[in-house]
Structure 1
């Protein structure tokens, strides 16, 4: 097992842990648990974004762009320093929430992430910098760095306005928006386009430029959707709607280009790889539709006061788009082994949990009765996701011992 396979395995450990914590959080609605709910939520979210997604994405980016740069020692040192900060958060957030040591580890993680951005910019070659895929990865890393303005602002906001203020909530939304819609999405597009480029499929330059600038402009403008809970001036709704439409337009531009090379795309990997790419694309289109819907005043008001819709939307992106894409790409580059059985169980778990979360959102919205034993069903659905990730673990162990 290469060191990158080991790093991918670390990412999977975090993925399993957040699935376990997800089940644990669901149980709060049924039984009394000897832990602070908010502290576990903080742990769950930090390990999800910084443990699973960050570790998986940076491992892929290193393999694709820096593997031949003769900086393995530097990268390994940075990797283990980063893991110390993540494990530090994992061991402090459940017991203290946002307190001295968890904040120290969170802050150190930010410095580690900036170091990775520097490594990428410093050691990628001039030839790599001319590719479309590089531009996507490059801007994704800048989105990641920009999103950190939110965490940096929290200290000053807590000291002045307090954790219950609008500024505090908006700082968190700023961070989440540019993580989900900037860093994650553009990095995944970059990896996909890199795969195409290595197969000799290069997107037409003019069309790619239109896609690139449109989707990034949309990512910036749609931050306004995160502010709609405050019922801002109508101009913010208009800007948010324009951003959502721009991202739709970007996907139309990209889809048109990919359709022209459809036959060649089918040959770049196994049938499962191509089918999962189409599935992820469909899930991303649903995400864009929900985003556009959220720009309308009526639906913005409904969503703002319905946490089930918010949680369902975030999990749709995290589990359905980002995590599934990461699993597919890690498997494509042989950093993990992904089987049809594991994928099937995972997708079933995803559909069940999303269906139940959105169902409760509609129950609250329409003011009707919730199904008896609903929370037990949600726990069981979350267990299916946990089993799926556990099954992926089993596949890795079988791979190394086989």
Structure 2
């Protein structure tokens, strides 16, 4: 795996983490920037500069044997789009320049899908099916973006149409493209064979991904039918988790056997977060709780970070650690443990305060200061991992 490209992805992640830290500081002091604009920059750089480009690098590395120059050029054009969003969003939010760079990124992703669909060569039916499914969901998610313009012009940003379009993009990016692409690489490393169990897992996973989109629709266009559809999706997701564990149980022991304790730790962390994600979504079957999640921002941010930082980043870190790009020096251990500790502390603070809001209790003493201090550990951890890569 090209070390230079991994470093670029991690630098993007570090910048996104610093932006997140500034957002946390805004609750205790003046940051001199528009909070909403910076939030857009933070989310776009984290999703498209870190996760998207890291998955790009992994997919090309593992599934494209003939690595033509076009893949390297496309990576840098996509990175140019990310840098453009990184600089324009904090200044102007959604406006001419930021929208132009976002559009460029979407077209780069379309070309990436075309290249991978055309050139991918894998002997495994399992990874072929999963890879194409993840790319399909990436394409599908962008329909939400194309609906934003008509939604604003016809009904405005406060409309259900506009909000559902945003949720459509986010849902199928996170739960479709990102998560299934992660599983693709994971199953490739585990050498999972085609079987009836895998086919069941894949069918249930795709169905649950589609059905659970009913919950964000329910937030903006309430209907009892949507709650039932989400409930079916959540139950299917639980079934997918059980089949997932069955598929990987014996293979995972082989993968981590005689590996560093750090690799075992990061895989355990990612797997635990994956299980926790499914458990939290299972609770959304209760109508009262599903509405509470939307109304209390702590729960929303906590869940997004659970998926983004816990599950997706947890697995991405594990893949990097297995790639032989790192040295097992103190910097790597400090980096990984700092990141995990920062994640656990911030998620705990968000959850506890969210529960306090729900039950009508007072805010935690020094809550915003503690959240900022805990958040310091996240960019610090990424920085140490980067330093380790530079030393190799």
Name the TM tier (shorter chain). Answer: over 0.9
CA contact (8 A) 1:229 1:301 kept: yes
Q: Does 1:369 align with 2:362?
A: yes
Query: Which of 115, 121, 130 is the matching residue for 2:111?
Result: 115
Distance 1:239 1:318 in 2: 24
Q: CA deviation at 1:275?
A: 3.5
Unaligned runs of 5+ in 2: none
SS in 1 for 2:14: helix
CA contact (8 A) 1:60 1:330 kept: no
Aligned to 1:393: 386
CA contact (8 A) 1:86 1:109 kept: yes
Q: CA deviation at 1:289?
A: 1.1
Aligned residue runs from structure 1 range 184-195, under 5 A: 184-195=178-189
Q: Paired residues, what number?
A: 389
CA contact (8 A) 1:8 1:336 kept: no
Aligned to 1:183: 177
Distance 1:246 1:334 in 2: 37
| C-alpha RMSD over aligned residues | 1.6
- Greater CA deviation, 325-334 or 218-227? 325-334
Query: Which of 294, 297, 301 is the matching residue for 2:291?
Result: 301
Distance 2:50 2:6 in 1: 9
Distance 1:269 1:116 in 2: 33
Q: 1:273 to 1:299 in 2, by over 3 A?
A: same
Aligned residue runs from structure 1 range 80-99, under 5 A: 80-99=76-95
Q: CA deviation at 1:129?
A: 6.0
- Cα deviation per residue 1:230-259 (whole Å; 9 max; x = unaligned)? 362211111111111111101111212323
Aligned to 1:31: 29
Distance 2:150 2:243 in 1: 42
CA contact (8 A) 1:215 1:247 kept: yes
Distance 1:19 1:326 in 2: 16
- Cα deviation per residue 1:211-233 (whole Å; 9 max; x = unaligned)? 01111110011001112223622
- Cα deviation per residue 1:51-84 (whole Å; 9 max; x = unaligned)? 0101111001110011x2141x111111111111
Q: CA deviation at 1:130?
A: 4.4
- Greater CA deviation, 215-224 or 270-279? 270-279
Distance 1:209 1:397 in 2: 42
CA contact (8 A) 1:5 1:336 kept: no
Aligned to 2:199: 209
Distance 2:157 2:252 in 1: 50
Distance 2:213 2:258 in 1: 35
TM-score normalised to structure 2 length: 0.95
Aligned to 1:78: 74
Distance 1:242 1:325 in 2: 27
CA contact (8 A) 2:338 2:377 kept: yes
- Greater CA deviation, 312-321 or 275-284? 275-284
Q: Does 1:286 align with 2:286?
A: no
Aligned residue runs from structure 1 range 173-322, under 5 A: 173-197=167-191, 202-230=192-220, 232-261=222-251, 263-267=253-257, 269-322=259-312
SS in 1 for 2:213: helix
